[in-house]
Structure 1
Amino acid sequence: MRPCPDEAVAQGPEKRCPGRPPVLEEGERREMILNAACQVLDDHGYQSASMDKLAQQSGMSKKTIYQMFPSKHDLFRTLISERLFDMKHASVCPCRDLPPEEELVQILTSIAANALQADRMCLIRAIVGEIRDSAEIRKIMQDIEISGNCNQVEAWLRRQQAAGTYMIDDVEDLGHGLFSMTVGKLILAELFHCRDPATPAEIEANIRRWIRIFLGGLEQIVY
């Protein structure tokens, strides 16, 4: 005889059959697929990054992968957009009560901490190896850059431009330059293993140094 609802509750939750794998949330499956895509790209390159390899690396079926990402292009576009470009575009939530220099230090230190994570560096290494030979990867990078919103560094420059704090003529060019001399420099050192991994204190000190040089240069601009 089937138990009534009250009896079923009293018996507690249903026991999982022995050997049955745990049920993953959709977000967990999605992250596992993106992690696998990053590893497959690094190991095999974009051209050879088949859905079979992605399924094997992630432990998911191809059907599950296609349910979340309609195509290989969509999967890798999502990977690059979320794990590479979002480190510049994601909101860092700086404190606007800080002096402009301290606010910029906070923004770039947060971006650097994100960029230097192992999974981000794995992706950057893979893209560096693919960007010259893979037209598809170049197209993904260009499409994301064109469609992306103003990143946090450029947003800071625009605020200073509007306030008249510094003489800023070309926000995009200055933003690229500032990113390159701070976060970009740290990424290159990590890519080529130029030195031991920097500590958070060393990262902040390095960023402060280059920000002061950058702002000192802006103060010398006269129109």
Structure 2
Amino acid sequence: MVEIQIIERRPRGRPQLRCDDDTKSLIIEAADAQFRENGYAAASINAIAQSAGVSTKTLYRLFPTKADLFSSIVSDRISRFFLALDQSTLATMDLRQGLERLLTAYGMLTMSDDTIDIMRLVIAESDRFPEIATSFYETAIVGSNAFMEKWLTTQCERGLIRLEDPHMASGMLRGMMIMEPQRAAILRQLPPPNIAEISRRARICAEVFLKGCQV
């Protein structure tokens, strides 16, 4: 009997140890730390790649420009905010409970240490790099406002609240929730509020807001 040996051909090069999504997450985490520590202009692509454990070739394949990296950092934060506020979960809550949940999650997103650092970076470097201001505004500010506006519109359609302009009301509600403590933190006058302080502020904001629009 003749034995037939089958030689398995292996792909050339080193085997891929992780998928692109996992690699992107590592790069985003490393870039976030680099931007926060050194600023946008001084952030080193080589240092980001080294910290993430990837080659610069891989980094540029996944993120062709530094602006793409920054945009992905902002998108990653907003995605976590949306995941924490699934619309189907909010739909099971009563009006006040849902609004408090929404405001608490928004406060935790916008007044965290890392978000405060990113906002300082945008303010400091947007004159030289207007693309980071555009990215932050469109992804973080417009995106979160649209989510809140959609929730308010739904409550209007349910007949629970009455608003002349849900879009404008959303902006006012967001400002009431974060403007004073966030500005104080950005200007290094006060530390960002802790979870208990954010929750208390969300409760008070929800109470004030609903007194003005609840049917």
TM category, shorter: 0.7 to 0.9
Structure 1 residue 152 displacement after superposition:
3.1
Residue number in structure 1 paired with 2:106: 111
Check if 1:156 corresponds to 2:151. Answer: yes
Question: Which one-letter code corresponds to 2:39 in the other structure?
Answer: G
TM-score, normalised by the number of residues in structure 1: 0.71
Task: Decide which of 169, 172, 177 is 1:174's aligned counterpart.
Answer: 169
Does the CA-based 8 Å contact 1:88-1:151 persist in structure 2?
Answer: no
For residues 193 and 91 of structure 1, do their structure 2 counterparts lie closer, same or farther at Cα, with a shift above 3 Å needed? same
1:86 lines up with 2:79 in the alignment: yes
> Does structure 2 retain, via aligned residues, the 8 Å contact 1:131–1:138?
yes
Residues 195, 43 of structure 1: alpha-carbon distance in 2 compared, 3 angstrom cutoff: closer
CA distance in 1, matches of 2:80, 2:212: 26
Q: Does 1:34 align with 2:28?
A: yes
- Tell whether the 8 Å contact from 1:39 to 1:122 is kept in structure 2 after alignment: no
Which letter does structure 1 place at the counterpart of 2:55? S
Q: Which runs of structure 2 are paired with 1:22-171 in the superposition (5 Å)?
A: 26-83=20-77, 85-86=78-79, 89-90=82-83, 92-93=85-86, 94-144=89-139, 148=143, 151-171=146-166
For 2:79, give the aligned amino acid. Answer: D
* Matched AA of 1:175: S
Tell me how far 1:92 sits from its aligned partner.
0.5
CA distance in 2, matches of 1:95, 1:168: 19
Taking a change above 3 Å as real, the CA distance of residues 71 and 198 of structure 1, as seen in their structure-2 partners, is closer
- Quote the offset at 1:61 in angstroms: 1.7
Which runs of 5 or more structure 2 residues have no equivalent in the other structure?
A: 1-16
Distance 1:149 1:181 in 2: 15
Could you say if the C-alpha distance between residues 188 and 90 of structure 1 is closer, same or farther in structure 2, counting changes exceeding 3 Å? Answer: farther
Identity of aligned residues (%): 25
CA RMSD in angstroms, aligned pairs only: 3.1
Opposite residue 86 of structure 1, the aligned amino acid is S
| Residue aligned with 1:165, SS | coil
Change in Cα spacing, 1:58 to 1:140, as seen in structure 2 (3 Å) is: same
Distance 2:109 2:33 in 1: 18
Describe the SS at the equivalent of 2:91: coil
* Other structure's SS at 1:78 match: helix
Residues in 2 aligned to 1:197 and 1:176: alpha-carbon distance in whole angstroms? 21
> 1:168 & 1:109 partners in 2: Cα distance?
21
Distance 1:113 1:147 in 2: 17
Counterpart AA for 1:156: W
The Cα of 1:66 is off from its aligned counterpart by: 1.7
Report the count of equivalent residues. 197
Q: Distance in 1 between matches of 2:178 and 2:80?
A: 11
Contact 2:49 2:55 in 1 (8 A): yes
Q: Which runs of 4 or more aligned residues in structure 1 lie more than 4 Å from their structure 2 counterparts after TM superposition?
A: 23-28, 87-91, 145-150
What's the counterpart of residue 19 of structure 1? none
| Deviation sequence 1:3-58 (CA, Å, 0-9, x none) | xxxxxxxxxxxxxxxxxxxx566444322311222233234433343423432444
Alpha-carbon distance in 1 for matches of 2:140, 2:29: 22
Aligned-pair CA distance for 1:150: 6.6
